[in-house]
Structure 1
Amino acid sequence: MNKYLIILSSLFFLACKTENKETQKIEMGKHETVFKHFEKDNDTLYVVNFWATWCAPCVEEMPHFTKANETFKDKKFKMILISLDRSKDFETKMKPFIKDNNIVADTYLLDDNTRMNTWIPLINKQWDGQIPVTAFYKNGKQIGFVPNTLNYETLEQIIKQNL
């Protein structure tokens, strides 16, 4: 009887684990790898926010992105946060910020900030490198670019228009 209870419990645990959606990613990588997460040719709307823990306007707008991520989680929608913090601050600043602010969106730290002049024009030729910046992608193409802070209402409106 004990053996059956253990087997049944194990099967239940595995079933619950496989039912869960994809787990949150918190990774560091080069732009060539990170950008592949949102340059996909599918009908999902990717909201890509470039930010940093040292950027006051970025930190101020983060609750709007967190709220939007929760609001649209059941739609064809994916929030991706790309930190421009220094790589040495990945464990000590960025990860604690994500945890302390209950951020569940996939978050990446770009490990090639010294090559910003290489990848910034790939996001938008008009981008001067200032953050926060938000880009919107769908079907493998950029469909929107906002080179300043966003409030929740504006972010929600852009998302609804493009879902």
Structure 2
Amino acid sequence: MKKLALLFLFAITTASAQKELPNINLKSLENKSINVKSDFTENDKIYVYIFWATWCAPCIQELDAINDVYTDWKNELNMEIIAVSIDDARTGKRVKPMVNGRSWEYTILLDTNQDLKRSLSIANPPYTIVVKNGKILSEQAGHAPGSENEFFQKLKSY
């Protein structure tokens, strides 16, 4: 029974490690259409998709904390953070002022209809997906204050 459970766990881990981003277009803050699969394809570059919302306090804490060290991270790794807002039509008007007020240097995409969120079976923000060479390497739900260094060490292992 233990062998079967381990085999099942290995199969789930392997299957999720081979998962790819869906072919979905989102809008940038400048209203430009961006395809999450084909527009972020630089070979061996790490793309970190962080799903967030203006009404989500842990999301804002995570994005603020990473923003403080983001320049250092980019100097050490070939990486880019894509902050995907899942704010709907009602709260979406708060995204641009919040981003400008916080001086975040991330690529910001708007998943207003939550198409990308749904296609990846994401329940609640904050939710982070790490992608390299078109493959999803890891997924993480939630945020713990101070966990940025541990997350960066994980990124360096890719």
Give the TM-score normalised by structure 1.
Answer: 0.67
Instruction: Supply the distance in 1 between the matched residues of 2:87 and 2:30 (Cα, whole angstroms).
Output: 12
Query: Residue 129 of structure 2 aligns with which residue?
Result: 135
Query: Residue 26 of structure 1 aligns with which residue?
Result: 29
Closer/same/farther in 2, CA of residues 71 and 28 from structure 1, 3 Å limit: same
Q: Tell me, which stretches of 5 or more residues in structure 2 are unaligned? A: 1-27
Q: Tell me, which stretches of 5 or more residues in structure 1 are unaligned? A: 1-24
Query: Residue 67 of structure 1 aligns with which residue?
Result: 68
Using the TM superposition, give the Cα deviation of residue 137 of structure 1 relative to its aligned residue in structure 2, in angstroms.
0.3
- Deviation readout 1:17-47 (Å, 9 max, x if unpaired): xxxxxxxx634577x8344444x26210001
Query: Residue 104 of structure 1 aligns with which residue?
Result: 105
The number of equivalent residue pairs is 128
Instruction: Supply the distance in 1 between the matched residues of 2:74 and 2:42 (Cα, whole angstroms).
Output: 19
Closer/same/farther in 2, CA of residues 136 and 86 from structure 1, 3 Å limit: same
Q: Is the 8 A contact 1:51 1:82 kept in 2?
A: yes
Give the TM-score normalised by structure 2.
Answer: 0.69
Q: Is the 8 A contact 1:68 1:155 kept in 2?
A: no
* Aligned-pair Cα RMSD in Å: 2.5
Opposite residue 72 of structure 2, the aligned amino acid is T
Q: Is the 8 A contact 2:73 2:152 kept in 1?
A: no
Using the TM superposition, give the Cα deviation of residue 65 of structure 1 relative to its aligned residue in structure 2, in angstroms.
2.3
Structure showing greater Rg: 1
Q: Is the 8 A contact 1:29 1:109 kept in 2?
A: no
Runs (4+) off by over 4 Å: 27-30
